[in-house]
Amino acid sequence: MISGIYCIENLINGKKYIGFSTDIYKRWKIHVTSLDGNYHENWYLQNAWNKYKKESFMFKIIEEYPPVEEILKLMEIYFISYYNSFRGNGKGYNLTKGGEGNLGWIPTKKARRNMSKANSGENNPNYGKHPSPETLEKQSKGNKGKIISPETRKKISISATGRIHSPESIKKTADARRGTHLSPKTKKKIGDANLGKKRVRASSPFYGVSKHGNENWQANIWVKGKYNYIGIFKIEIDAAKAYDKYVIENNLPRSLNFPNDISN
């Protein structure tokens, strides 16, 4: 299990949802299930999911931390501020500024009512887990060509170009990580919690790449809510290139680590 902070990013408009979990992969499955079922408790994220479709969203681990709720909540607050993903600022899908979550993922009463309605189909025979053949046909026609169209791929490529590896981006990341958004009390809590702890895994600035053990790097990708393992590599850049190759060969709407090399 991987514990830490994760991100759900809209590849079309760049908006993000930041969350925390002690089991990120399990939490992602819960998100996908509730979003596909149209009963996610975050109505703003649900509306975006319905509008842009699931293929336009990417799940990514931002940073790994010990499975301590206090640490995870503090870091959720930090990354919501860092990525400016609070809806009140108009930049993301988080409905709060963070720190209110829980490790049990207990849905609200409203979410439970929506889940019950989606599963039972009361008051609407076409609503829920089993759409009518007519509805399925309409959805199929509406989605044809939308994902793999040149315009969509161009938008995704442009949005990714220079976002991670440009000098400006690296400087912004460094400046933000100096703790400008954290109070001295918060920084002390994080420092005390991490004191003496050895990190086994680490995140990577590349899409689809994470540390595997102490020396290797793993490439992987989530497609339609399913985890796909790509491979283990000695060099981090090789893992990033393998991720790009997988995305291109399977015509997936994902940001590339090296978009300028797509012609090669």
The pLDDT value recorded for residue 92 is 92
Q: pLDDT > 70: what percent of the chain?
A: 62
CB 75 within 8 A of CB 190: yes
CB 62 within 8 A of CB 6: yes
* pLDDT surpassing 70 at residue 3: yes
The pLDDT value recorded for residue 128 is 45
Distance CA 155, CA 253 (A): 10
Residue 1, both tokens: 């299990």
pLDDT, averaged across the chain: 76
pLDDT digits (tens, 9 = 90+) for 159-190: 555 444 456 655 666 665 554 556 677 777 77
* pLDDT surpassing 90 at residue 41: no
pLDDT digits (tens, 9 = 90+) for 97-147: 887 765 444 455 665 666 566 555 454 444 444 556 776 676 666 655 555
The pLDDT value recorded for residue 223 is 85
C-alpha closest to that of 75 among 63, 93, 61, 59: 63
Residue 143, both tokens: 């989605």
C-alpha closest to that of 27 among 40, 14, 38: 40
Distance CA 7, CA 64 (A): 12
Segments making up each domain of the chain, as ranges? 1-106+182-202, 115-144
CATH of domain 1-106+182-202: 3.40.1440.10
CB 82 within 8 A of CB 180: no
- Over residues 48-61, mean pLDDT: 91
C-alpha closest to that of 44 among 102, 88, 6, 11: 88
- Compute the Cα dihedral for 86, 91, 93, 95 and give only its sign: positive
Question: Residue 5 burial (CB < 10 Å; 0-12/13-18/19+)?
Answer: buried
CA distances from 47 to 51, 68, 103 (A): 6, 31, 25
Confidence of residue 197 (pLDDT cuts 50, 70, 90): low
Confidence of residue 45 (pLDDT cuts 50, 70, 90): very high
CB 137 within 8 A of CB 145: no
Distance CA 171, CA 114 (A): 44
Q: pLDDT > 90: what percent of the chain?
A: 21
pLDDT digits (tens, 9 = 90+) for 206-239: 888 988 877 889 999 988 878 889 999 999 999 9
The pLDDT value recorded for residue 105 is 45
- List residues bridging with 227 in a β-sheet: 222
Residue 255, both tokens: 């940001």
pLDDT digits (tens, 9 = 90+) for 67-97: 888 888 889 998 998 888 998 877 899 998 8
